[in-house]
């Protein structure tokens, strides 16, 4: 009989939204070419730095925003500055830093362009600074008793759902991260829970067991088919609290509920082909190319 220790667990998070696009108009004076910065009409808490946005014109015309881009739509990572302005980047790590020199060069549109903006992240990242997490699965039964059946009750199979909580050391800076592009910090949940238009949902993988051959990385170990045991669910953040006590570590607690499919899985998580810089090798629709025979 095997005994598992809690120090083998971890959580992966994929940014997600309610699939409701932001609709706006991009005007000529909304783009500052010299500062590589632009703005459009959206609530201050609608978009979070590091989100991968798909920006498209509503009429099918070529999008006039990023220099040398001649397509009706494009996908880039975004950084939101303190004034609510946007800069676009080719990588998640660069978007988090938000340096002007790394931002993509912009052009001002010749006329006002109606646009829609969606979040299209398709990569899991590990959540840093977790001390513990709890996840509970539930089933709601439905009483189908017919009139007159006094001594008999029948129940439908019911609805499956779940809820859980995380306790993390509070952190919002990535300076100490070895690979900042591979992690999400607890501060992200505080931003997510107040995101107004696109909701507070995320996709989560909650690992109970991970490879015993070494630490978890973004590239799974070849030949190990049964090294993982994890829950996988679409979740919505419902509460984020900070516990502040003088002379003690600042902690945050995140509570969530699951929505949609909720599964307990064993084996090896889906793998994808990577390039040398650890970015995904993409198909024509910019979805990552999966490995049909995962290891």
Output the pLDDT for position 41.
86
- In angstroms, how far is the first alpha carbon of the chain from the final one? 27
Tell me the C-alpha distance between 26 and 111, whole Å: 9
Rounded to the nearest angstrom, the gap between the alpha carbon of residue 164 and the centroid of all alpha carbons in its chain is 17
Give strand ranges (E) for 90-180.
Answer: 113-119, 124-127, 130-140, 159-169
Residue-wise pLDDT for 76-102, tens only, equals 999 999 888 999 999 998 998 899 999
Which domains are delineated in the chain? 6-15+124-267 (2.30.110), 22-119 (2.40.30)
Predicted model pTM: 0.78
Residue-wise pLDDT for 249-282, tens only, equals 999 999 999 987 788 888 877 665 555 444 555 5
């Amino acid at each position: 009989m095997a005994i598992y220790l809690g120090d083998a667990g971890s959580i992966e998070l994929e940014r997600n939204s309610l699939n409701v696009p932001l609709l706006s108009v991009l005007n000529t004076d909304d783009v500052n070419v010299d500062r590589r910065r632009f703005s459009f009409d959206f609530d201050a808490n609608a978009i979070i730095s590091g989100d991968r946005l798909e920006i498209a014109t509503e009429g099918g015309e070529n999008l006039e925003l990023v220099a040398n881009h001649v397509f009706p739509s494009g996908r880039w990572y975004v950084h939101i500055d303190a004034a609510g302005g946007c800069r676009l980047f080719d990588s998640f790590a660069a978007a988090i830093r938000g340096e002007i020199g790394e931002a993509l060069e912009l052009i001002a549109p010749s006329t006002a362009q109606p646009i829609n903006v969606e979040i299209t992240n398709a990569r899991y990242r590990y959540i840093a600074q977790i001390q513990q997490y709890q996840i509970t699965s539930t089933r709601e039964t439905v009483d189908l008793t017919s009139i007159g059946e006094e001594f008999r009750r029948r129940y439908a199979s019911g609805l499956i759902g779940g809820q859980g909580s995380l306790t993390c050391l509070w952190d919002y800076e990535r300076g100490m991260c070895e690979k900042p592009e591979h992690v999400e910090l607890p501060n992200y949940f505080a931003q997510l829970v107040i995101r107004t238009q696109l909701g507070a949902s995320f996709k989560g993988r909650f690992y109970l067991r991970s490879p015993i051959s070494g630490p978890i990385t973004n590239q799974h170990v070849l030949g190990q088919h049964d090294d993982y045991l994890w829950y996988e669910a679409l979740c919505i953040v419902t509460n984020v609290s900070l516990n502040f006590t003088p002379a003690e570590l600042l902690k945050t607690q995140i509570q969530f509920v699951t929505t949609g499919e909720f599964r307990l899985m064993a084996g090896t998580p889906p793998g994808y082909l990577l390039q040398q810089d650890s970015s995904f090798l993409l198909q024509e629709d910019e979805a990552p190319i999966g490995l049909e025979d995962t290891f």
